[in-house]
Chain A
Amino acid sequence: MKNLRFIIVVIILMIYNCMFAQKYGTKTGNIKFEATVPSFEEVAGESKTTSAALDATTGDFAALALMKGFRFKVALMEEHFNENYVESDKYPKATFKGKVEGLDVSKLTADAKTYTVTGDLTLHGKTKKISDAAKVSKSGNTITITGAFEVKPGDFAIEIPSVVSKKVADKISVTYSFQLVKP
């Protein structure tokens, strides 16, 4: 009888555990980056297969993109990106692990509110702290997070050879958009 009571407590705790971790997720998140210099060829890539997860109770947020999932207009540029710049075979993914500061899901509406997202961005084997504004909205079962930030290739030990340095911007602007759904 004592055992049964214990089992019930464990089951309740496990259910609670599942409910408590209010996770929202996606596998089709969008990340775009652009390093185009005006009057030169467009240098931009886009991943439509970024996965991301948000814990609605704590505001914890994580995202993961495979480097080989970034698409470019020019196939040769995509090849060079993977082979020479981010070295996708050695460092296959980019990850972000952080927090939407002060997130309160109950106050989210269809009109986007601005929050600060801080966390660690890791790519090409290097990690950098990122903190920037993001817009968060919620309609039905979907939480949408969109935002933008800037990074420098040097922050992640990505070398830009001198022959092409004029054609690749010093600062790379990154925009993202995640529509996270409760599973």
Chain B
Amino acid sequence: MKKFLLAAGLLFSVFTYAQDDLLTELDSTQVQDSYATSTFKGLQIVTLQSTKLPAAKEWYFVVSHRFGTVKNGIDEFFGLDGATTKLGGVYGITNWLSVSASRHTLLKMYETSVKYRLARQSADFPVDIVGYNTLDINTFLEKEDYPKIEFADRLTYVNQLLISRKFSDKLSLELAPTFIHRNLYDPAIENDDQFALAAGGRMKLTKRLSLNLEYGHNFDKPDFYKNPLSVGLDVETGGHIFQLIFTNSQAMTESGYITNAAGDWGDGDFFFGFNLYRVF
């Protein structure tokens, strides 16, 4: 009797088998592409680079401002009188390699950079790892003031490793060990080599709005400079990414931002600014 039931059951299964299992079967054959995406929306968290790279053949046009210190109030219109500008472009050569060039008002600096992805966060690997190297050319130093200056003296190098993890669809954090070398420095107050550890993160408030925070700890800075602490708000509108920023470090080059933070949050001495990215 038992066997009969089993046989009947099997026969019955012929009719039910096909019904529900088509989809379940498909489910088990599909392989999920498990890379973490959109860890950060902008190429920068605030001023620090994020682990985002442009896609292949994508152009980003960048305009950033850092205004003067807000400390002097209405006299200087909360710093807007002392605006500094960064104008630049970023180009994605491949999905894992991009180059950029920019011109900065502060110290008439030219900055070139290369950014490359080394590893991606997935089910098998916990973090994104991106390398970032910049070369700054200071064209503010005049021959009349420094008669013996050579081209090499104008150069500053930054080597950075950006390590980030998307913890949830809202929270992403990044750690950035940074090594800075300057060809021109004042041995009385600073080293030619400086090491810093920066950290940053974003918290999404809504789908198109996120709050960003970053801090850099410079281990070799002279006492009168501060460590950069910045807060930003990402606003995304289709092809634009707009970042509103408050920071105690006015410079926008990687080296200047980390080594020359002059403002002091405690004294109300900080700078307002924004980054605007347009994608082509």
Interface set of A (CB-CB < 8 Å, partner B): 6, 9-10, 13-14, 16-17, 20-21, 23, 27, 51-55, 57-58, 60-64, 66, 68-69, 75-76, 79-80, 82-84, 87-90, 92-93, 95, 97, 161, 163-164, 167
Contact = CB atoms under 8 A, between A and B. Distances in A.
A53 B22 contact: yes
B187 interface: no
B10 interface: yes
Given A10-B7, A21-B18, 17 more contacts: A13-B14, A21-B14, A21-B17, A23-B18, A51-B26, A60-B22, A62-B26, A64-B27, A66-B30, A68-B32, A68-B33, A76-B55, A80-B238, A83-B37, A97-B22, A163-B237, A163-B238
B23 interface: yes
A57 B7 contact: no
Nearest to B13: A17
Contacts, number: 91
B19 A60 contact: yes
A116 to B, nearest CB: 18
Contact of B10 (A17, A27, A62, A75): A17
A92 B58 CA distance: 26
A84 B207 contact: yes
B173 to A, nearest CB: 17
Contacts of B58: 75-76
A13 B17 contact: no
Interface in B137-183: 169
A61 B22 contact: yes
Interface residues of B, number: 32
Interface of B: 3, 6-7, 10-11, 13-14, 17-19, 22-23, 25-27, 29-30, 32-33, 37-38, 54-56, 58, 169, 207-208, 237-239, 279
Contact of B169 (A10, A58, A90): A90
Contacts of A89: 37, 169
Contacts of B10: 10, 13-14, 17
Contacts of A27: 29-30
What are the 7 A-B residue pairs with the smallest beta carbon separation, nearest first? A75-B55, A62-B22, A64-B26, A62-B23, A55-B18, A83-B38, A53-B22
Given A13-B10, A69-B33, A82-B37, A64 B23 contact: yes
Contacts of B17: 17, 21
A26 B227 CA distance: 58
A87 B19 CA distance: 29
